[in-house]
Each structure stands twice: as C-alpha cells, then as structure tokens.
C-alpha cells in the first residue's frame, strides 16, 4: 500500500480575474477573463503528495456552499481521502485575485470554513492522524489548531512537517520541539527570525537560529537558488534543477508535498529533497496552482537514469 501522508490545513476556492491593470480605490474596471480554481495551501500540498505517489488524507473544513462541494470533489478526484473534510455553516474559504498584464496581483483572502477548523475537530479525526506516517501543517487555519496538531503528531511519533506560510512573525516557542522539518521560503524565514534572508549566507544564519529555537531540521527553499538544509550539525545546499519558469505560484506547496511523499515512501532525506525540488521545478513550467502540479511519472521521467 502507498505511504500515508495526512495534511491538516486549508481549502480555498481561488476566484481569479485578469485585467489590464489593478483597479484604483473606488474604480470599476472591465476584466478580460474569470476562472474558479481549487486552491488553499493545505489542499495544494495534499494534491502534490497524492500526484507524487502517496496515499493522502485531508483534514479541513469547507462551507455548506457550492464551492465546498467543488473543493471536496476536486480532492476526491485526486484519490484523496476526505472523511475528515468537514462541512460547516457559512461560506468556504475563498481567495479573490486580480492579476494585471504585468503579472502583478492583488489578493483578498476570506478564511470561511478554514477558520472553523478547531482543535476539537482535529481531536475528532484522531484516527486519521494515527494512520499517518507524515503529518503536514501550514498557517492558513487557526493558530491553536496548528499548535495542537504539531503536539499530537509528536505524541504519536509521526514525522511532523510545518510549512510556516503565510508567516507574519515568529512562531510560538512551544511549537518548535514538535517539528521534525520546518520548511519556510526566504520571506517566511525572514518573518520567523527577523533576519533578511536574501543569500545562502543569510539563509544559513536564519536556519541556525531556527534550529537553536528547537526545530529538528530546517529546509529553507530559495527559488532558483535551490534549497538549504540544516540540522544543527551541518548545512547542505541543494541546487535547483534548471528550467524556464512560467508561473511560480504552487512551487512551494509542490516541494512540501513531494518531499513528504518521498519521505513516506522511504527515500533518504537528501533524495526526498531532490525529489521535491524536481517536482517544484516542473510545476513552475506550467500555469496555475493545482493544475501545474506534476505527476509521479513526470518526475521520474526528469530524473536521469
């Protein structure tokens, strides 16, 4: 049976419109196109892990609206177990996105059902956590829920991954001891540490600070520069595969999902990082978030024989 990855996190419907430019305050513009695209960092990571070979369960909340049906249906279509995706009164999470001709965007996120994912709901889905090999969390659901899930994952002896996104400041100190792999990007590492992370040297300084805070291991993703691994004893830089980027929207989520799937499948830490990097590199060659996430066969075809 494939390895088991459980993602505890967000499901959003992205409402994306394109216009020549972003509107000014009080202005009405005529848009060029509109699309509804399933998203949310939790759902994106679940889709990535599933497409990249893992057996995946999602723990989250959607509203009792049409978007909730669609979000749940899109995960089921990927073969993801949704027994722990609860329907709650009100709207599902949405992201209202306007993209202009220069690819600049303005985004408003409404938590909707994601804000209803309480620790009590996660307690009710404890059998799902017990079946996991790897548990992934992000920061698009209530902070107390993330903290509970990290702690419970540690109690159960699971491999616990935190992707601290979106990060607006330092994490609670009590969280660090429950995290096996902390995976921020440059801006998130900056928010967590207060250090400006814009080079390998500054990434090493930030990673050292995060390990000293109690995180087991830290992987800072650096876009085209690859990623930096730190465990308190050593640093290792993993260069990124060379590709032509079209849209980097889901690269971080694809890396996290791919890394988790590879770890759960028994790959070594280094091989799991390389696997996640190849998956992320392939994702940036395609437009969109979930539509850009590659399949296991795509990654395997990219790896030299």
Residues with a catalytic annotation lie at: 253
Q: 305: burial class by Cβ within 10 Å (0-12, 13-18, 19+)?
A: exposed
Please give the structure tokens belonging to residue 49: 């892990």
238 sits in which H/E element: strand 235-238
Specify the DSSP class assigned to residue 21.
Answer: S
Could you tell me which residues come within 8 angstroms of residue 242 by beta carbon, excluding any fewer than 6 positions away? none
- List own/partner pairs for 187-195 with CB under 8 A and 24 or more apart: 188/164, 189/220, 191/164, 191/167, 192/164, 192/167, 194/170
Is 222 annotated as ligand-binding? yes
Is 224 annotated as ligand-binding? yes
Is 253 annotated as ligand-binding? yes
Is 129 annotated as ligand-binding? no
Is 72 annotated as ligand-binding? no
Is 153 annotated as ligand-binding? no
Please give the structure tokens belonging to residue 1: 């049976």
Is 126 annotated as ligand-binding? no
Is 221 annotated as ligand-binding? yes
Please give the structure tokens belonging to residue 76: 């089921």
Is 286 annotated as ligand-binding? yes
CA-CA distances (angstroms) from residue 253 to 10, 21, 66, 170? 12, 27, 25, 21
Is 232 annotated as ligand-binding? no
Is 41 annotated as ligand-binding? yes
Is 298 annotated as ligand-binding? no
Is 13 annotated as ligand-binding? yes
- Asked if 9 and 39 count as a contact pair (C-beta separation under 8 A), the reply is no
Is 75 annotated as ligand-binding? no
Cα separation of 26 and 279, whole Å?
41
Place of tokens 């249906």: 73
Phi-psi category of residue 103: left, alpha or beta, with phi > 0 → left and psi -120 to 50 → alpha: left
Is 216 annotated as ligand-binding? no
Please give the structure tokens belonging to residue 266: 């028994």
Please give the structure tokens belonging to residue 86: 């609860």
293-302 in b/e burial notation, b at 16+ Cβ within 10 A?
A: bbebebbeee
Is 42 annotated as ligand-binding? yes
List, as residue ranges, the binding site.
12-14, 40-44, 140, 185, 221-226, 247, 249, 252-253, 283, 286, 288, 292
List, as residue ranges, the binding site for K(+).
247, 249, 283, 286, 288, 292
List, as residue ranges, the binding site for substrate.
12-14, 40-44, 140, 253
List, as residue ranges, the binding site for ATP.
185, 221-226, 252-253
């Amino acid at each position: 049976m494939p390895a088991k990855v459980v993602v505890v996190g967000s499901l959003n419907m992205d409402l994306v419109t394109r216009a020549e430019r972003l509107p000014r305050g009080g202005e009405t513009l005529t848009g060029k196109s509109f699309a509804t695209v399933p998203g949310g960092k939790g759902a994106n990571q679940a889709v990535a892990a599933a497409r990249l070979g893992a057996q995946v369960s999602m723990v989250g909340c959607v509203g009792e609206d049409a978007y909730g049906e669609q979000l749940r249906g899109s995960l089921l279509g990927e073969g993801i177990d949704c027994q722990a995706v609860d329907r709650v009164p009100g709207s599902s999470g949405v992201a209202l996105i306007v993209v202009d001709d220069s690819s600049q965007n303005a985004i408003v996120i409404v938590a909707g059902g994601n804000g209803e994912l309480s620790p009590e709901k996660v307690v009710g889905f404890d059998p799902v956590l017990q079946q996991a090999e790897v548990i992934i969390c992000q920061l698009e659901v209530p902070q107390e829920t993330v903290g509970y899930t990290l702690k419970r994952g540690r109690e159960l002896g699971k491999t616990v991954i935190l992707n601290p996104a979106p990060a607006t400041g330092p994490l609670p100190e009590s969280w660090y001891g429950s995290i096996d792999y902390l995976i921020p990007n440059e801006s998130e590492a900056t928010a967590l540490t207060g250090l400006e992370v814009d080079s390998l040297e500054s990434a090493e300084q930030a990673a050292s600070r995060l390990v000293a805070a109690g995180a087991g291991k830290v992987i800072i993703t650096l876009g085209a520069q690859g990623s930096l691994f730190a465990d308190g004893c050593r640093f290792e830089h993993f260069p990124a595969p060379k590709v032509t980027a079209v849209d980097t929207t889901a690269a971080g989520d694809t890396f996290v999902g791919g890394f988790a799937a590879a770890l759960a499948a028994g790959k070594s830490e280094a091989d799991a990082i390389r696997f996640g990097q190849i998956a992320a590199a392939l994702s940036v060659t395609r437009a969109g978030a979930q539509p850009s996430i590659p399949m296991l066969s795509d990654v395997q075809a990219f790896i030299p024989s």
